[in-house]
Structure 1
């Protein structure tokens, strides 16, 4: 049974400068207030609008843990659910009390990343555990947690307008799951060859609008990038069949132009006329689209806009600018900024924070078609092939590697040609991004950010005996010669693994096995779709084959790293 408890929320009364990093935003229409969470500073900030004067007040509350998302319990409710990634748990905060109180707290086995509620159940996405958990919010005495496993890491979630069905999108690639909110069963699945699904919204015609990107394995030349042959920044229109619960792609719309890309489209909202507003996070623009989904305007706004929330009643939208940091209020009829809501005095940013901003900034690339994030989704991987000249050639695309834990993975590049992380970052800016002006400080800052990234956590494997057997097989079969335990599970040499690329390259830099269970394909060209196929189909570095029991044990061990 969940462990419900009470705790205090503390008013932040001082105005000391902070490096504000608001990450998620919700609009409480009944009380005309905006609520945002800041995981870096453990803050819940409330911006309250006063109808008579059109002024806004700001109140900040110190809350426990690292809040990464927030949702309203139901329309007009004074209760809001906050996901805490460090607990890990979700908490219900009642803002109807003075001061606000944490009235419920639900511990979780996995780390929450997104929360949504239909007023009856709360859905909690746990990205690295590949599941969505549900809990009743109407009956505390029977609030048992129900886990719904997925075939992918969940990212954005959206309820159907009637609240009966939950759409769950992939955090890294292009998979979708449709979950019945009553039976808590997956009723449909779909995969589209896109990645970085950043925004979900319903059109007035009950079609699902999706912002995302699509990577192609063409060389990252300037002309290919400008032509959209390397990466596309897209708005998808999907038809949702309410009876069969299926998703069908009806239309793809490129949001950029050859001379001006629209990198990293994320938040999306529609006004009362069906016109759309899309945050292009990589270029600091708010795109304006007609009801027919044609781009007709680009509003220059603050740094790294991530969410767009429509307030149709008052013909405006709210844009969360994570790095400004601010909330911009935009008139959806004229495109004019009505006001900009601040978060308080800003402290000086650290090198790692500046590096994160550069990592997410497509203005560092030629034509602004892509940022580092465009391929390295959430600093992880999109599981696709890219031809970035990383190995000094073109025509031999390689797997996009995860950057989580890359600080310990020297050397870098698939052929091991880069001996320092500084050198790898510099080369990526020049040969992949075609950056017009990258300074030494920029490189140092990005390296500082990469040094802050821990490896992806392992998939949970409960059978300790099986894991122990797999570890013995790993050592007995000599896997540790290239993937040296216990820290990095890699080495600083290259090895001939019997797999040549298009130019005959056979020696490769062994990737770290930390978090290997969170990847989407294996070997330099993704020819092995699963860990099992690495050994079953390709017999990777094995003198003789494994029995089914040995294979299960070895895979369990690898997934536990």
Structure 2
């Protein structure tokens, strides 16, 4: 397998005040690795890193910082964990639908198995026996259980939309799954082999990594919350629009979740992602990828609140005690974390700086940076990627572009962006795939200049400073290079199924009349239509025809998210008889049409 050529050519790495370990000539050419997750092995002498941009795995000697080996893995690695008595690592490869089983021995990496698991495998959890693992399949709403000895899928659980990350209890009997598409934590009884219960996160979006407590009583996780209040400076600063939380959910019985608020007045926390706890149970550490922070807490004294809480801003108790809470500005985009056996050294995968940061969480000091390759040259694309994930571009750094357009896609909520000039007219988030080819922009289509639309997003929706023409061009360059995962509703060779072929005929028929508006390569005519779903509160009349590409990834439909399924769209709010005055579709036509729509 060869490494694919990437256009990421780099930005300068700013590490003037922190030691940077010398690295021998890297095993690959000078391109970005973009580390997303890390795991320690062999009594902390080795660190293994999953690199997303280069589709590779790196092996590092922790004492010297030397890169001992680097090998290719599947497409778009996302998570990594140790397994099989600590002699192997598992890597989830989201875009190739595989789990790579890699042997770590003698300072070398060797892929021994590649397990086909399904579509968009993301988060991993390994059972205490080291021979059983679990992976969330985001595209199909399932968790796959893997038999690592046999290198096969043993069974699957249906859990709900977007199961990105998960964690298994220390006794191997319970599995917690964060389903961001349905704002809930699902707990599976692994002995019975069934879902036991789920815990709702009201307004929850973007659930991050998960970790179980040593006693197996709780699972801990970071997430963000959206609260449907008008976007203005006061509401943002109060935490009434978007906010960040750490939550915990009981694993042994169903109880309302408990949480703490992370956001500091004036300098909020954005896009929390990674989480780790030390073995002594003293510290809980979270990476905030949007605001570039490492958040360090004294775990046992945290002011957890259940029903009615937590507050909108951080509990003052945390601000008064620097041992109870402290944040470290790491820069870059800190993501996956690994805790050393000394209970104080944390290894941080810094995606944008292309390094592993080594942090002493007791002295609150960055010890060193370990580069993953030669320093690449600056590029427009990488600069655009930085801007897209940077919450510091918003008012008091509350949220980034990624917060709503998760990795360039969508989230699970209809939101008030204030972009169309009216408050509390909720709109679903549109994906940014082919954004430069699917104008006009916004749901009402009043934006005919993409640069101006981006300007409005930064200054109105995010209440931040505007993007310069150079920055806007960089963001668009980045979005043009984004790849998307393969469609799970296509045949293995990429063709349409028999049902989807029938559905295409329905789509193009005069009865359904879909193709009269959803036309062309991106299934949009770029025009404004009144489909009878307007609101008196809307500033504009009619709606811009949205592109249908990748529609299977959505969980809310129509401009205001009133429909929770494609079936609801086609037989109720947006049925042919309502929109075009034609006849109702038969049950079989609806089923076939949905098969076709999901294949787009």
Normalising by structure 1, report the TM-score: 0.89
- Determine whether 1:202 maps to 2:231: no
What secondary structure does 1:298 align onto?
strand
CA contact (8 A) 1:71 1:117 kept: no
CA contact (8 A) 1:38 1:66 kept: no
- Determine whether 1:38 maps to 2:51: yes
- Select which of 253, 262, 270 maps to 2:277: 270
- Determine whether 1:135 maps to 2:146: yes
Describe the shift of the 1:266–1:396 C-alpha distance in structure 2 as closer, same or farther (beyond 3 A). Answer: same
* 1:444-459 map, 5 Å: 444-454=473-483, 457-459=486-488
* 1:68-87 map, 5 Å: 68-74=77-83, 76-85=85-94, 87=96
* Superposition misfits of 4+ residues, deviation over 6 angstroms: none
- Between stretches 63-72 and 188-197, larger displacement belongs to 63-72
What are the Cα deviations for residues 134-192 of structure 1, in whole angstroms up to 9, with x where unaligned?
2312346xx45533333212201211122232222125552333334456543333432
Structure 2 gaps, min length 5 = 4-23, 303-317, 320-324
| Alignment partners' CA distance in 2, 1:457 and 1:105 | 18
| Alignment partners' CA distance in 1, 2:567 and 2:185 | 24
What secondary structure does 1:199 align onto?
coil
CA contact (8 A) 1:173 1:197 kept: no
Matched residue, 1:500: 534
Describe the shift of the 1:289–1:144 C-alpha distance in structure 2 as closer, same or farther (beyond 3 A). Answer: closer
Matched residue, 1:256: 263
Matched residue, 2:599: 560
Shift of 1:421: 2.5
Matched residue, 1:18: 31
Shift of 1:226: 0.8
What are the Cα deviations for residues 416-437 of structure 1, in whole angstroms up to 9, with x where unaligned?
0112332221210111112235
Structure 1 gaps, min length 5 = 1-6
Describe the shift of the 1:526–1:465 C-alpha distance in structure 2 as closer, same or farther (beyond 3 A). Answer: same
What are the Cα deviations for residues 12-65 of structure 1, in whole angstroms up to 9, with x where unaligned?
755753223112211115352211021322332222134xxxx43322313244
Shift of 1:249: 3.2
- Select which of 220, 230, 236 maps to 2:247: 236
What secondary structure does 1:129 align onto?
coil
Matched residue, 1:473: 506
Shift of 1:213: 0.6
- Determine whether 1:523 maps to 2:531: no
What secondary structure does 1:514 align onto?
coil
Matched residue, 1:170: 179
Describe the shift of the 1:135–1:20 C-alpha distance in structure 2 as closer, same or farther (beyond 3 A). Answer: closer
* 1:50-69 map, 5 Å: 50=63, 55-66=64-75, 68-69=77-78
In the comparison of the two structures, how many residue pairs are matched?
543
What are the Cα deviations for residues 88-133 of structure 1, in whole angstroms up to 9, with x where unaligned?
4222221225643222222344343233322122323322233222
CA contact (8 A) 1:37 1:43 kept: yes
| Alignment partners' CA distance in 2, 1:162 and 1:556 | 41
Matched residue, 2:572: 537
CA contact (8 A) 1:175 1:190 kept: yes
CA contact (8 A) 1:405 1:455 kept: no
Describe the shift of the 1:318–1:409 C-alpha distance in structure 2 as closer, same or farther (beyond 3 A). Answer: same
- Determine whether 1:290 maps to 2:298: yes
* 1:296-315 map, 5 Å: 296-315=325-344
Describe the shift of the 1:177–1:499 C-alpha distance in structure 2 as closer, same or farther (beyond 3 A). Answer: same
CA contact (8 A) 1:203 1:274 kept: no
Shift of 1:256: 0.9
| Alignment partners' CA distance in 1, 2:397 and 2:56 | 33
- Determine whether 1:189 maps to 2:193: no
What secondary structure does 2:133 align onto?
strand
Normalising by structure 2, report the TM-score: 0.84
- Between stretches 502-511 and 320-329, larger displacement belongs to 502-511
